Amino acid sequence: MDKPSIETIRHSLSHLLAAAVQELYPDVKFAIGPAIDIGFYYDFDFGDKKIGDAELKEIEKKMEHLCKQNLKFERMEMPIDEAIAKEKAAGQIYKQELIEDLKAKGETSVSFYQSGKFSDLCKGPHIENTNQIPKGAWKLNKLAGAYWRGDEKNKMLTRIYALAFATKRRIG
């Protein structure tokens, strides 16, 4: 088993963040969750629910709990029309829109990654399982607003930012 890159770890952590949020807020709508230079973020539509620092601590605690479960990241391919129907049925309007855009560009299938109970549209790559995440080397650090697709005419989503490094020493 090769050691995953920090970018792969960060991206996998963004999925773990979404999984934790889903467990705590089952009606949440998911947008996107990329790795960035010093960590990762994920954009959520919490509907009428507002979250703050107290909720960030609760989400981080849930992420730590999930991390300890040695969850695997398993890739699955799905025909594009089936994926659109899946996200539509789940009420995941942002994922549905992303998949419809891929279809318009000629894609015929998309991939999802499953970790525990959580499944997300994603091209990957990911770590093999959560035991590859360095202990104590990540932390949720702030909330921000972000318009869906960066367009002020679209809905304002809640962005959760996190720091993530290769070692605990960097987080402090």
List, in sequence order, every residue forming a beta bridge with 160; answer none if it has no partner: 42, 143
Instruction: Please give the domain boundaries of the chain with CATH numbers for all domains.
Output: 17-70+131-172 (3.30.980.10), 72-128 (3.30.54.20)
Show the tokens assigned to 107. Answer: 């894609």
Show the tokens assigned to 84. Answer: 């659109």
The tens place of each residue's pLDDT in the chain, 172 residues long, gives 578 999 999 999 999 999 999 999 999 999 999 999 999 999 999 999 999 999 999 999 999 999 999 999 999 999 999 999 999 999 999 999 999 999 999 999 999 999 999 999 999 999 999 999 998 999 999 999 999 999 999 999 999 999 999 887 666 5
**Cβ distance 120 to 136 under 8 Å?**
no
Q: String of b and e for 108-120 (b: at least 16 CB within 10 Å)?
A: eebebbbbbebbb
Would you state the pLDDT for residue 167? 84
Q: Read off the pTM.
A: 0.94
